[in-house]
Amino acid sequence: MNTGQKLDNDLGTVNISEEVISIMAGLTAIECYGLVGMASQGIQDGISRLLGRENLNKGIEVHKVEDGIVVELYIIVEYGTKISEVASNVMNRVRYTLEDLAGINVVAVNINVQGVRVDNVN
């Protein structure tokens, strides 16, 4: 098991894998207004691929650092929304959720906008 975070208390030790942390971050992020979904980490031929709910963790990287963790999110935003506002909202909600629900110290949440989705409205 790849340990993302280790929490100790007087009752014992809890190991939280990086995959669990990335799924928690992904589920939190997709609830944010203006976010269409997660994107694959690499862009091939200038096209980003939208990931489904079952593959959310492929659009997220979790790095363990000395003081806690750093989360990298690769997202696709909705056309017509202010990208900086969407990114700020996602950063704040992901940080709050991981710190509140899992007790993990989040050093940074980095947002990488991989694309803009335009819905066809007729």
Mean pLDDT of 3-27: 81
Quick: pLDDT tens for 55-92.
666 788 999 998 889 999 999 899 999 999 999 999 99
Domain ranges of the chain: 3-117
> CA-to-CA distance for 7 and 16, rounded, in angstroms?
8
The residues pairing with 70 across neighbouring beta strands, listed in sequence order, are 63, 108
The residues pairing with 72 across neighbouring beta strands, listed in sequence order, are 61, 110
Quick: pLDDT tens for 21-60.
988 999 999 899 999 888 876 655 444 555 555 566 678 8
Q: Look up the CATH superfamily of 3-117.
A: Cation efflux protein, cytoplasmic domain (3.30.70.1350)
Q: Which two tokens stand for residue 28?
A: 């939190």
Whole-structure pTM over 0.85, yes or no? no
